[in-house]
Amino acid sequence: MIARAETALKTHDLCDHCLGRLFARVDTGTTNAERGRKMRAAVPDGTGDPVPPRMCWLCEDLFDSLERFADAAMDKLGTVEYDTFLIGTKVDPLVQDREERLWAEVGGDKAEPIKAEFNREIGKIVEARTGKSAEFHSPDVVAVVDTRFGHIELDVAPIFIYGRYRKYSREIPQTRWPCRMCQGKGCKRCEGTGKMYQNSVQEIIGDVLIKEAEGADHFFHGMGREDIDARMLGTGRPFVIEISEPRKRHLDLEGLTASINEHGAGLADFSGLRPSTREEVRQIKAATPDKEYLAEVRPHGKVNKGRVDEVVQSLSQARITQQTPTRVAHRRADLARQRAIHDLQLMEFSEDRFLLRLRTESGTYVKEFVSGDNGRTVPSFSAALGVPCEVTALDVLQVIDNSNEG
Ligand SMILES: [Zn+2]
Ligand SMILES: [Zn+2]
């Protein structure tokens, strides 16, 4: 180690930081500057001064500016709400080239890159002065210090909010739906709005949250979705909404629920809002809950109750095969999927309209189970009855996820 320090100091003027950093992995529990001071003292005379040089060849005394960078980082961090942070640095490529040259000359296997020391040392100052904690895994905000210009850029982590929604309207989709003609730019067809539908479950809650959080955009992650013309009832469907670049991250979700529900009056409402995580988004997207439906069915032909009762009985535990319905073929692969009907009951009957209550496996296409979808779903209610039937109204009565499995 001493020999290595000696070689380094013979060829270059190095500050204590840059000298000590060559040996950062030898021991822990001290700083590079302290390590550098000790190394300099241990190198035999004739190789250089016991005092650091006027100007470090490697970093050009960048470490003298630590306080200034920390101040600038704190100023910028003060523009957003955060509990945890991380400092990142952009270092002049010339400085990094010199560091690599030094490693090549004297050996860099015990060394630490200058960026790592910068991040840590600025982080320590910011921690001490703000009382907030530096965190490596998922900080609320990363402040990137450009050491050439002293610029600070913030990378603010999104916030995630979990909840359940109910949808009472048969005319709004779950998520924001850009116009197909103009992809959201605004055109004749969408009357300049850029949207296929003027409102959605996502926008009802997202518009309020984005304003409150002073965020940039929102993204909706639902545990599946229902058709636009289907209502979502019961205790609602779980979702996580993500707000990007929020300046505020501590929201009064209980208080906000009231204004969100006012905003969605008659269309949708929300409950159980609480902070969530990216991990929960993953779980929600991967979940495959059973669902309960109420389907209003119209037969296109003469039926009687006895016959309908028989068909309900025969299909109440059916295993069905569904070829991807033509109506969703544009967004799903054309495959045959096996699905289970767990329960089927006749709730109301008249000759031109009856109600079916179903419990089905996740991913079952209920409309197609009833209609048969021109033979693409087998068996089907229509085929078993021998009379074509169609679903004229569909409600999701319950999404049976873990939280309400009882
Ligand atoms: Zn230096
Ligand atoms: Zn358009």
Please pick, among 227, 252, 290, 334, the residue that the annotation labels catalytic. 227
pLDDT computed for residue 41 by the predictor:
86
Which-ligand-closest: CA of 59? Answer: 1
CA–centroid distance, 100 to ligand 1, in Å, is 13
Model confidence pTM above 0.95: no
Q: Does the pLDDT at position 405 exceed 50? A: no
Specify whether the CB–CB gap between 102 and 58 falls below 8 A: yes
Predicted local confidence at residue 49, as pLDDT? 62
191 C-alpha to ligand 2 centroid (Å): 7
Closest alpha carbon to 361 in 311, 297, 296, 287:
287
Rounded distance from Cα 204 to ligand 2 centre (Å): 21
For the chain, count helices (H), then strands (E). 12, 14
Query: Which domains, ranges and CATH numbers included, belong to the chain?
Result: 2-156 (no CATH), 159-286 (3.30.70.2510), 290-404 (3.30.70.3190)
pLDDT above 90 covers a percentage of the chain that reads 85
- The pLDDT of residue 406: 39
Q: Which residues of 261-281 are buried (b: 16+ CB within 10 A; e: fewer)?
A: bebbeebbbbeebeebeeeeb
Identify the band that residue 171 occupies on the pLDDT scale cut at 50, 70 and 90.
very high
* Active-site annotation holds for 227: yes
Does the pLDDT at position 404 exceed 80? no
What pLDDT shows up at residue 257?
Answer: 98
Question: CA 66: distance to chain centroid?
Answer: 34
pLDDT tens by residue, 34-74: 999 988 888 866 555 666 777 999 999 999 999 999 999 99
Contact 292, 396 (CB under 8 A): yes
For position 45, what pLDDT does the model report? 61
CA distances from 278 to 170, 202, 405 (A): 30, 17, 24
pLDDT of the residue at 182: 92
Give the helix/strand (H/E) hosting 279: helix 278-286
pLDDT single digits (tens) 325-377: 988 888 888 899 999 999 999 999 999 999 999 999 999 999 999 999 999 99
pLDDT tens, position by position, 228-287:
999 999 999 999 999 999 999 999 999 999 999 999 999 999 999 999 999 999 999 999
Give the mean model confidence (pLDDT) for residues 313-329.
93
- Which residues have a beta carbon within 5 Å of ligand 2, which is an ion? 179, 181-182, 187, 189-190
Whether 30 contacts 16, CB under 8 Å: no
In the predicted structure, residue 226 carries a pLDDT above the cut 80: yes
Find the ligand nearest to 180 CA: 2
What one-character DSSP code corresponds to residue 45? T
